[in-house]
A and B are shown apart, each in its own frame.
Chain A
């Protein structure tokens, strides 16, 4: 079976959206976010990351999503 021969033009492809992981500290309850890491999942207990506020090392992943750009008024 023949393959098409003309190569496509230089139109840029869509960027893959990068999600953020939202962690809630189990000591002080403060929520913070960081870029998604492989093996992250919602409701996972993370033991090796320090809370930026209280320094607690146990936190729970409460959300993972791609933040939407806020429209400027």
Chain B
């Protein structure tokens, strides 16, 4: 056999011609495949893309499983439940909220508010049942942790859906779309993993910069404190004979409170309209922008579903109160992971700017409302 093969390759025995013939046959076979089966190249490309998608989907699954493990361990450690919480945590990770019907937009904001509040209360009660020994603040942070799990679970299910659908239908365009956005999705999933660690330990996150400014403003100067709406507190201080009402969520548990309802209730109770309403919040930076950059403007700086923003805007419009806002730029990852130095340092600068604005725009004897917006995890009331 070896001798025959050597002879075939040996030019002196005429092997050169045979080898050329063989190679030509192979090329001809390839040509015919591409000619008779035009989508062959696309098939090969699809199989390569599906393999890539499969690898990334596995990475997502590993992150999801890790967050699940962190959640179960934290609930066991903090809440000391009598039975294994894992099955109930899995059930909560599939929890959903159905958006209200928007065909008739009248009253939509209040319908949305009602549904969100119901969802939030139910979720919190369920987590409290899982962690009977957790304090009120710890229950709120644990609720955040389970919400992170719910978020990553949704991401994983959606990506898996497109992967399997693309594989089943051999639809290269469907696979291509999910493959294109997967690097960003993986980055968000990685942020969720870090967020889970932060929530499990009660560390302040980037989104907490609003309440951090509020806490620093009040620090040591509080005259009175009262709860104005669910999980939302007002702290009264005096700044060079100006009355400052600071509204923020109750920390150090992880909650954003109800700043819209809080500001509305507060202003309606005051004998006179405040001179200004100032909101301070984290904002998403664009790629290339510096983390911790501060910008100021007018309007209501509140993200989320829009209920709180709407309430403050309505109130301010009806009473003619000017709205000022400060935002601190950060990426989505920085907003949900432990607070970075540049964001914490920006809080000190915003504090000075807020004080300066109050002294400039509010006369002695007048009042102003300052709302620190964001998640208060790891930021106490003092």
Contact = CB atoms under 8 A, between A and B. Distances in A.
Interface in B331-354: 337-344
A72 interface: no
Interface string B151-187: 0000000001001100000000000000000000000
B380 interface: yes
- Chain A binding site: helix, strand, loop or mixed by DSSP? loop
Contacts of A36: 201, 203
B252 A4 contact: no
A3 B59 CA distance: 12
Contact of B379 (A5, A7, A42, A66): A42
- Chain B binding site: helix, strand, loop or mixed by DSSP? helix
Nearest to B377: A41
A65 B344 contact: yes
Nearest to A68: B341
A64 B194 contact: no
Contact of B57 (A4, A41, A42): A4
The 5 A-B pairs of least Cβ separation, nearest first, read A41-B252, A65-B344, A43-B382, A43-B380, A4-B54
B200 to A, nearest CB: 9
A63 B380 CA distance: 11
Interface of A: 1-9, 13-14, 16-19, 36, 38-44, 61, 63-68
B241 interface: no
Contact of A14 (B194, B212, B215, B344): B194
A9 B52 CA distance: 11
B374 interface: no
A42 B378 CA distance: 6
Interface in B195-234: 197, 201-204, 212, 215, 219
Contacts of A38: 201-202
Interface in B31-77: 51, 54-55, 57-59, 61-62
18 contacts: A4-B58, A4-B160, A9-B55, A13-B193, A14-B190, A14-B193, A16-B194, A16-B197, A18-B338, A19-B204, A41-B379, A42-B252, A43-B215, A43-B382, A64-B339, A65-B339, A67-B341, A68-B340
Interface in B132-164: 160, 163-164
Contacts of A9: 55
Contacts of B251: 41-42
A43 B219 contact: yes
Given A2-B164, A17-B194, A44 B252 contact: yes
Given A19-B204, A65-B338, A67-B341, 16 more contacts: A4-B163, A6-B55, A8-B58, A14-B193, A17-B337, A17-B338, A41-B380, A42-B204, A42-B212, A43-B379, A43-B380, A44-B252, A61-B380, A63-B344, A66-B338, A66-B341
B381 interface: yes
Nearest to B54: A4
Nearest to B211: A42
Contacts of B55: 6, 8-9
Contacts of A7: 58
Interface string B351-382: 00000000000000000000000000011111
Given A6-B51, A6-B54, A68-B342, A39 B164 contact: no
B340 A66 contact: yes
Contacts of B194: 14, 16-17
A13 B197 CA distance: 14
Nearest to A63: B344
Given A4-B54, A19-B338, A42 B190 contact: no
Contacts of A43: 215, 219, 379-382
A8 B59 contact: yes
Contacts of A63: 344
Contacts of A64: 203-204, 339, 344, 378
Contact of B339 (A8, A61, A66): A66
Contacts of A61: 380
Contacts of A1: 160, 164
